[in-house]
Amino acid sequence: MSFNEADVQSALKNLIDPNTRKDFVSGKSVKNIKVSGNDVSLDIMLGYPAKSVWDEIRTLVEAHLKAALPDSGSVSVKVTSQVVPHAVQRGAKLVDGVKNIIAVASGKGGVGKSTTAVNIALALAAEGARVGMLDADIYGPSQPTMLGISGQPDSVDGKSMEPMVNHGLQAMSIGFLIDNDDTPMIWRGPMVTQALDQLLRQTRWDKLDYLIVDLPPGTGDIQLSLAQQVPVTGAVIVTTPQDIALMDARKGLKMFEKVGIKIVGIVENMSTHICSKCGHEEHIFGAGGGEKMCADYNTELLGSLPLDIRIREQTDSGKPTVVADPDGNIAKVYKQIARRIAVRVAEMAQDHSAAFPKIVVQNT
Give the CATH number of the domain where residue 184 resides: 3.40.50.300
Decide if 87 is inside a domain: no
The b/e string for 172-197 (b: 16+ C-beta within 10 A; e otherwise) is bbbbbeeeeeeeeeeeeeeebbebbe
Structural domain for 151, as ranges? 98-346
- Over residues 299-342, the pLDDT tens digits come to 899 998 888 788 888 988 889 999 998 999 999 999 999 999 99
Decide if 294 is inside a domain: yes
Q: How many angstroms separate the CA atoms of 205 and 126, rounded?
A: 19
Helix (H) or strand (E) holding 310: helix 309-316
Decide if 361 is inside a domain: no
112 contacts 323 by C-beta, under 8 angstroms:
no
The answer to whether residues 257 and 282 belong to one domain is yes
The answer to whether residues 264 and 309 belong to one domain is yes
Predicted confidence band at 270 (pLDDT cuts at 50, 70, 90)? Answer: confident
Q: Which residue has the higher pLDDT, 192 or 66?
A: 66
Residue 128: Cβ within 10 Å count: 17
Decide if 362 is inside a domain: no
The answer to whether residues 210 and 294 belong to one domain is yes
pTM (predicted TM-score): 0.88
- Over residues 238-265, the pLDDT tens digits come to 988 777 777 878 888 888 888 888 999 9
Decide if 89 is inside a domain: no
Q: Which residue has the higher pLDDT, 72 or 104?
A: 104
The answer to whether residues 186 and 40 belong to one domain is no
Give the CATH number of the domain where residue 45 resides: 3.30.300.130
User: What rounded mean pLDDT belongs to the chain?
Assistant: 85
The answer to whether residues 65 and 172 belong to one domain is no
Span 196-223, average pLDDT? 87
pLDDT over threshold 90, residue 282: no
The answer to whether residues 163 and 306 belong to one domain is yes
Decide if 233 is inside a domain: yes
308 SS3 class: coil
Sequence-ordered list of residues with C-beta below 8 angstroms from that of 286, at least 6 positions apart, any chain: 241, 242, 243
The answer to whether residues 291 and 338 belong to one domain is yes
Q: In Å, how far from its chain's centre is CA 260? A: 19
Decide if 150 is inside a domain: yes
Q: How many angstroms separate the CA atoms of 280 and 161, rounded?
A: 47
Span 42-49, average pLDDT? 94
Identify the burial level of 282 via C-beta atoms within 10 angstroms of its C-beta, where 0-12 means exposed, 13-18 middle and 19 or more buried: exposed
The answer to whether residues 170 and 277 belong to one domain is yes
243 contacts 286 by C-beta, under 8 angstroms:
yes
The answer to whether residues 107 and 25 belong to one domain is no
Decide if 141 is inside a domain: yes
Q: How many angstroms separate the CA atoms of 80 and 77, rounded?
A: 10
The answer to whether residues 199 and 71 belong to one domain is no
345 contacts 130 by C-beta, under 8 angstroms:
no
Looking at the structure of the chain, the number of domains it has is 2
The answer to whether residues 75 and 119 belong to one domain is no
Span 276-287, average pLDDT? 72
Q: How many angstroms separate the CA atoms of 318 and 48, rounded?
A: 27
Domain boundary, last residue among 81, 112, 142: 81
pLDDT over threshold 60, residue 355: no
- Over residues 165-192, the pLDDT tens digits come to 999 999 999 888 776 656 555 556 666 7
The answer to whether residues 131 and 168 belong to one domain is yes
